[in-house]
Homo-oligomer: A and B are copies of this chain.
Amino acid sequence: MPVPNVRHSEVDVLIIGAGPAGLMCANALANARVNVRIIDKRAVKVATGQADGISPRTIEVFQSYGLGERLLRESCEVHLAAFYNPSSTGGIELTNRTRDVTAPTARYQFEVALHQGAIESIFLDSMKELGVEVERSTIPTSIELSTDENQLTDPSSHPVRVALQRLDLPEGESKEEIVHARFVLGADGAHSWVRKTFDISMDGEQSDFIWGVLDMVPETDFPDVRNKSLIHSNHGSCLVVPREADRVRIYMQLADEDVINPETGRVDKDRMGPEQLLKVAQKSLHPYKFIPTNGISWWTLYIIGQRVASNFSIKDRVFIAGDACHTHSPKAGQGMNASMNDAHNLAWKIALVLRGWADMSLLSTYESERRKYAQELIAFDKLYSTLFSGKPMTEQNRDGVSHEQFLKAFQMFGGFTSGIGVHYSPSVVVNDSNQELASGLVIGQRFPPQKFIRAADACPIEIQDLLPSDFRFKLLVFAGNFGDPAQQARVESMVKDLQRPECFLNRYATPGKSSTDSRFEVFTISQGRKDDIQFMQFPTLLRPHWSKVLIDDIDVTGSFGGNGYSRYGIGPQGALVVVRPDGYVGAIASLDKVEELDTYFAPFMKTSS
């Protein structure tokens, strides 16, 4: 028999694993017209179950890719959290209800729940329109990274060699392919093959807590079945989360002896099936009844370590993201959110390097930003898990967790669990000078939402919608009060500075390309009244299109908008704000010091060759 010819191919980015992290990255790169392939060992996509909670920040991120509308249409919104504690009659009773989201600047003041299969479909449909589909039933069998330093530092080289094998081809057809990639992303889950192949260690410890999960449409008299309910009972803790299509998910804490096989020390699904799980849930939810109307649609058991990978990349050529680099408990609903936001952080950096716009050094900020976040997540998770799993404080158990203690933690961590508080430290793309010019725009945090009025047509505009994930840096010119002659002179002088050939806008211009290929987009946000402002008074550099000038005013109905300058902490002298392509505040400068923005871009931005 002849040896089949093994096919060789080149690709800019190869993504291994089509879960939420891999799909978020593939879709983002497809949007950026990057040459990307994504493989997955599964023959079909996840249909139901799995992770399902989407935090307020992740909804913003979906919105930034144009996927927010569909996410909100298909999912179930969670506005209230209800707290139940032991009652005097042996069951549980409602203690109180609070807002589920405690993050005043969140654009969406709720979480949403949707099963993982539906979330993946949102990405799959979006990618398909851009010509990218998951190659299924495909596994990597080997991966090698070149050790040639010249090759590693040359962004045009293909230093990663991955052997792929198709699992579903008929006998006789070539099942092997050698892919030469510029970059590889291992988004291949908690048992990541990429991570193990490169010997990246997971730092941290095994959790003490074992959890069971059940999905069903219940017949119930539980009053908070459509709210997120956090239940401390004398028969264990549980968490009830509403889902789309009348479904409910119940997370419940299990005792070791119920699920661990004493011989292997591992979780043994034979010891605890859906019927037993349902009994555990029903016991802690007593006196309320929870009867599945249509069976248990999904269930699982897990004991999970709270661990973070020691590295998130190998020489900025091979990356890992999602569960491959951090594992933790599911109770605060952070798993899928952290994974997708890893990919959101990485995608634009890879795209800018591939376009020749940014230096390779930009890529190192992926690990520095996301690993720090993962460590904070683990620390939070340990504390929260301990409080959540702790016995409730009762007359008999004075050492238990009090409701007040738990509620305080729930609210204190609101910034964290909502994803809104995620804060990237100073780096090559986060310059924390001049924070005082815009105290409400925290450098390193995502740009907060606010409604402004478009000067040309008085249309109310959510400013986050002007900051899509389109791989461009946004320059927001807060022009102050243009009606004041002194301020007008400052703005005009600033425009002259922006027109200098050595200014970043010109230095890093992409010659001959259309405006959609530009690296920068400029918006002007002025103080003033929509009834008076003539938007054509602004210098043309500040209004390349009529839609680019906003006013900090209320809308025609007087019901929203206004006070943007004050919320952002910007004075009448204005400020220049650079927003990164992922929506995070990168740098702030005063109108008189445009050159400070040149200094921001210089270390990582490349001139067009």
Interface residues of A (CB under 8 A from B): 69, 76-80, 96-97, 99-101, 109-110, 221, 223, 225-227, 242, 246, 454, 456-460, 530-531, 534-536, 546, 555-557
Contacts and interface: CB of A to CB of B under 8 A. Distances in A.
Contact of A80 (B77, B457, B535, B536): B457
A546 B248 CA distance: 13
A221 to B, nearest CB: 6
B226 A97 contact: no
Contacts of A109: 555-557
Contacts of A459: 77, 79, 110
Nearest to A460: B79
A134 to B, nearest CB: 27
B77 A457 contact: yes
A1 B540 CA distance: 74
Contacts of A456: 225-227
B555 A458 contact: no
Contacts of A223: 534-536
B80 A226 contact: no
The residue among A100, A223, A457, A557 with the most chain B CB atoms within 10 A of its own CB is A457
Nearest to A69: B69
Contact of A79 (B77, B80, B458, B535): B458
A534 B78 CA distance: 17
Contacts of A531: 96-97
A101 B242 CA distance: 40
A69 B72 CA distance: 13
Across chains A and B, which 5 residue pairs bring their CB atoms closest together, nearest first?
A226-B457, A226-B456, A79-B458, A80-B458, A99-B556
Copies of this chain: 2
Contacts of A454: 226
A99 B557 CA distance: 8
A110 B555 CA distance: 11
Given A99-B556, A536-B221, A557-B109, A546 B226 contact: yes
6 contacts: A80-B530, A80-B556, A96-B531, A110-B556, A226-B457, A246-B546
Contact of A227 (B110, B246, B458): B458
Given A80-B457, A80-B556, 11 more contacts: A69-B69, A76-B457, A79-B457, A79-B459, A79-B555, A96-B531, A110-B459, A223-B535, A225-B456, A226-B456, A242-B457
Nearest to A221: B536
A536 B94 CA distance: 14
Nearest to A532: B97
Contacts of A536: 221, 223
A80 to B, nearest CB: 4
Nearest to A228: B457
B556 A79 contact: yes
Contacts of A557: 99, 109
A409 to B, nearest CB: 19
A410 to B, nearest CB: 14
Contacts of A110: 459, 556
Contacts of A78: 457
A126 to B, nearest CB: 16
A77 B555 CA distance: 13
A531 to B, nearest CB: 5
A76 B458 CA distance: 12
A122 to B, nearest CB: 16
Contacts of A100: 556
A223 to B, nearest CB: 5
A225 B80 contact: no
Contacts of A76: 457
A420 to B, nearest CB: 14
Nearest to A531: B97
A546 B80 contact: no
A407 to B, nearest CB: 14
A359 B424 CA distance: 68
A562 to B, nearest CB: 13
Contacts of A225: 456, 546
A223 B225 CA distance: 54
The residue among A78, A100, A459 with the most chain B CB atoms within 10 A of its own CB is A459
Nearest to A76: B457
Nearest to A99: B556
A218 to B, nearest CB: 11
Contacts of A227: 456-458
Contacts of A457: 76-80, 226-227, 242
The residue among A221, A226, A242, A536 with the most chain B CB atoms within 10 A of its own CB is A226
A531 B227 CA distance: 11
A101 B458 CA distance: 13
Nearest to A456: B226
A164 B226 CA distance: 55
Nearest to A533: B223
A446 B530 CA distance: 31
The residue among A69, A109, A225, A458 with the most chain B CB atoms within 10 A of its own CB is A458
A330 B454 CA distance: 27
Nearest to A80: B458
Contacts of A546: 225-226, 246
A596 B65 CA distance: 53
A459 B456 CA distance: 34
A457 B299 CA distance: 24
A198 to B, nearest CB: 45
Contacts of A534: 223
Nearest to A109: B557
